[in-house]
Amino acid sequence: MIRKKSVESKLLVQNEKKRSKGVSQWNIAWRRFKKNRAALAGALIVGFVIFLAAFDSLIAPFPPNARPGFYMGETRSPPSLKYLFGTDYIGKDVFSQVVYGARSALFVGFASAAIAMLLAILVGLVSGYYGGIIDNILMRITEIFLVIPFLLILLVFLKVITAISPTGGGLSMVVLMIGVFSWAADARIIRGEVLRVKESEFIEASKSLGASKRRIVFRHIFPNVLHVIIVLTTLMIASAILVEAAISFLGFGDAAAITWGQQLQKANEAVKEAWWEGVFPGLFITLLVLGFSLLGNGLRDALDPRLRE
């Protein structure tokens, strides 16, 4: 019995030593990340859009609701030195609208991802660790969310909300709906990682020494699946931005908000005669989604211990 306790104590000490080396592990991940040119390109794109969002009022030549081209008879004016991305059908400067839309895109991406990942982490941790009937119930709920037509249900919800309230809840409601319907796939991935970590020797040793379930989950399991959560969050941000753009393009978004999807929707009627109205917002959507995707893949390669040399 004494020998068993001694072995278990050694396992815990080894685990704590591994945890104490966390800084060096993150340094290793950072070095791997810096060698990945695609990941650095993604980080650069994301950083550029964050810069636009942070200083939009200084970068944009016109205020959000200004219509300089309308009063000058320059509606749907092509790109020029005066209007870098041209003007739209009511004389708004497209470049200014794209710059202001960066903040909305990032808000949708980060807020939706926060909601979705909070649900995914909660379901994944509880389901993976406790197992049994709890796991069965949570996984059946997860499967329901996986098989329902996500975009169709989302559009129906937004349509109903708009019918009830003239404002439709604004961009915040779009964010909430995207987050609530986007967590299921990531919850299953996190659950799988929890199941893998749960079978580790140091977890069994912690149980033998009387560690509480809460301590085991948050002190031992959660840190060991954190790298997966970081990667999933990054990819979720890209997905949320793309979904919001699709919703707005289909006419179900917040009409009062300045978003790239709304700009695409308004430019749809004049694709041939005013191509610049849709090309530039679409280009920024593509770049930002690509940036987060490259960043997420780079973080996966850098943080996944199974891919380390």
For the segment 151-160, what is each residue's pLDDT rounded down to a tens digit?
Answer: 888 888 888 8
- CA-to-CA separations, 45 to 51, 173, 233, 241, 242, in angstroms, rounded: 10, 27, 17, 14, 16
Q: Is the dihedral of CA 8, 11, 12, 13 positive or negative?
A: positive
Mean pLDDT in residue range 247-263: 87
For the stretch 210-233, pLDDT in tens is 777 777 887 888 888 888 999 999
| pLDDT recorded at residue 11 | 47
| pLDDT recorded at residue 149 | 86
**Greater model confidence, 204 or 198:** 198
Residue 65: name the closest of 204, 258, 207, 202 by CA: 258
Q: Can you read off the two tokens belonging to residue 294?
A: 């490259």
Q: Which structural domains are found in the chain, ordered by start?
A: 101-307 (1.10.3720.10)
**Considering the entire predicted model, what is its pTM?**
0.84
| Residue 145 CB coordination number (10 Å) | 18
Q: What percent of the chain has pLDDT over 70?
A: 89
Angle in degrees, CA 162, 165, 171, rounded to 5:
60
Residue 2 pLDDT greater than 50, yes or no: no
Instruction: Evaluate whether 120 touches 302 at the Cβ level (below 8 Å).
Output: no
Collapse the DSSP code of 84 into the 3-class scheme (helix H, G, I; strand E, B; otherwise coil) and give the result.
coil
CA distance 14 to 8: 10
Cβ density class 214-226: b for 16+ within 10 Å, e for less: eebbeebbbebbe
Instruction: Evaluate whether 297 touches 39 at the Cβ level (below 8 Å).
Output: yes
For the stretch 88-116, pLDDT in tens is 888 889 999 999 999 999 999 999 999 99
Amino acid symbol at 239: S
Residue 308 binned pLDDT confidence (cut-offs 50, 70, 90): low
Residue 209 pLDDT greater than 90, yes or no: no
Alpha-helix runs per DSSP H in 61-216: 68-71, 94-130, 132-147, 150-164, 170-180, 184-198, 201-208, 213-215
